Amino acid sequence: MNGKKITILILALLAADQALKIWVKTHMALDEAIMVVPTWFQLRFVENSGAAFGMRLATSGAFDWGKLALSLFRLAMIGLLGVYLVRLVRRKAPAGVLAGLALILAGAIGNMIDSAFYGLLFSASTPAEVAHVGDGYAPLMMGRVVDMFYFPLFQWNGVPRWLSFLVDSRNYFFGAIFNLADAYISVAVVYLLIFQYKFFK
């Protein structure tokens, strides 16, 4: 797999991620849900401050220093991963390794775009109003990440406290709400750990 193919793959993944996020942001009100498969698969629009799978970061004051630190860390990781990927392409690493790292890089860039630019490009989303282009709601790097995939598999009442992270506020198992970028990263990490671990050893 050469550099041109890796670049095309990353751009295609980014285009899919951003197209879905922009559609959700400009067509759905905050916390609106569209039932795709009854009872277990919904498109549910939520936003988060930059953490993965719908998790919210604690914030204080008008300027979110924690979010800025996370954004700068994410930018540094994107840069390091990009340099590492270029080196592996030059070394003719296995195609599976390159594809897995390309998925992680595309996912990281996809969520970084939301965080960096959505606050400038879109108005705020609320339960009563769908966002539109213009009238930005936050400065550079202070935007919120759009999440939409929700799979509330079953209710788990009486879940032990130490497993409470596995359920949402309504006690549904796997209550995480995530986006395509999160899925890219998760699938790639599992794939690399299971099928490409020998390369990294």
pLDDT digits (tens, 9 = 90+) for 154-190: 777 887 877 777 777 777 777 789 999 999 999 999 9
Residue 24: pLDDT above 80? yes
- Domain limits of the chain? 3-53+65-157+164-200
Q: Name all contacts of 120-129 with Cβ < 8 Å and 24+ positions apart.
A: 122/25, 122/26, 125/25, 125/28, 125/29, 125/30, 125/45, 125/47, 126/29, 126/30, 127/29, 127/30, 127/31, 127/32, 128/29, 129/29
Catalytic residue ranges: 147, 182
How would residue 54 be classed by pLDDT, with cut points 50, 70 and 90?
A: very low
Cα separation of 155 and 171, whole Å?
5
- Quick one: DSSP state of residue 134? S
| Range 2-22 average pLDDT | 96
What one-letter code names the amino acid at 122? Answer: F
Of 16-25, 75-84, 138-147, 172-181, the poorest mean pLDDT is in 172-181
